[in-house]
């Protein structure tokens, strides 16, 4: 009984890899030991937090520790929930133990990712109208310039 008074659930070797590129998984790992000195088959929950507002953004799938107490979690970071160059945190809860570590969201992993995002932006229904209006205005300006140049040539040859 005295052993349980002085021992408590703990998480050690807790680590979150940083930076995490967009569209790539954030990975957290560590070792859990409960107050009964048992390691395996303990449920751990993983929460992704906005460090600026200390609010919950998302929750990753819960997972059990292995026979030695190791746990790991991966969660893909995507916009708009996670923004580049911003700090976020992963909070892990196993039994009565909690540990938190932060990570920063980096740039895209490849140019194909940024191209795909830019294409989605350009073809979004709210943005297409703006592009069409700006395109029409540029077309009118180009047409006026061509007409003026054509009139000067035609007027100069008479």
Per-position b or e across 23-59, b if 16+ CB within 10 A of its CB: bbebbbebbbbbbeeebeebebebbbbbeeeeeeeee
Radius of gyration (C-alpha) of the chain in whole angstroms = 28
Distance CA 158, CA 154 (A): 7
Tell if the pTM clears 0.75, that is, is over it: no
User: What would the pLDDT profile of 68-101 be if each residue is shown by its tens digit?
Assistant: 889 999 999 988 888 888 999 999 999 889 999 9
**Domain covering 2-108 assigned CATH 2.60.40.1930 in the classification:** yes
Query: What per-residue confidence (pLDDT) applies to 4?
Result: 44
Determine the length of the chain: 158
Identify the CA nearest to 17 among candidates 25, 27, 2. Answer: 27
How many CB atoms are located within 10 Å of the residue 13 CB? 11
User: What would the pLDDT profile of 40-57 be if each residue is shown by its tens digit?
Assistant: 788 999 999 999 888 999
Report the range of poorest mean pLDDT among 43-52, 112-121, 132-141, 144-153.
112-121
Where are the chain's structural domains?
A: 2-108, 124-156
């Amino acid at each position: 009984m005295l052993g349980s008074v002085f021992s408590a659930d703990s998480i050690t070797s807790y680590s979150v890899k940083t930076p995490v590129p967009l569209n790539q998984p954030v990975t957290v790992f560590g070792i859990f030991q409960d107050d009964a000195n048992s390691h395996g088959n303990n449920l751990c929950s993983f929460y992704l937090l906005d460090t600026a507002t200390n609010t919950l953004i998302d929750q990753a799938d819960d997972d059990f520790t292995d026979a030695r107490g190791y746990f790991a979690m991966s969660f893909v970071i995507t916009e708009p929930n996670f923004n580049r160059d911003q700090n976020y945190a992963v909070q892990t809860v196993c039994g009565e133990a909690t540990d938190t570590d932060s990570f920063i969201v980096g740039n895209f992993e490849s140019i194909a990712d940024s191209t795909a995002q830019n294409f989605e932006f350009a073809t979004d229904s709210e943005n297409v109208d703006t592009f069409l209006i700006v395109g029409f205005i540029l077309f009118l300006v180009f047409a006026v310039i061509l007409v003026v140049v054509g009139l000067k040539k035609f007027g100069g040859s008479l």
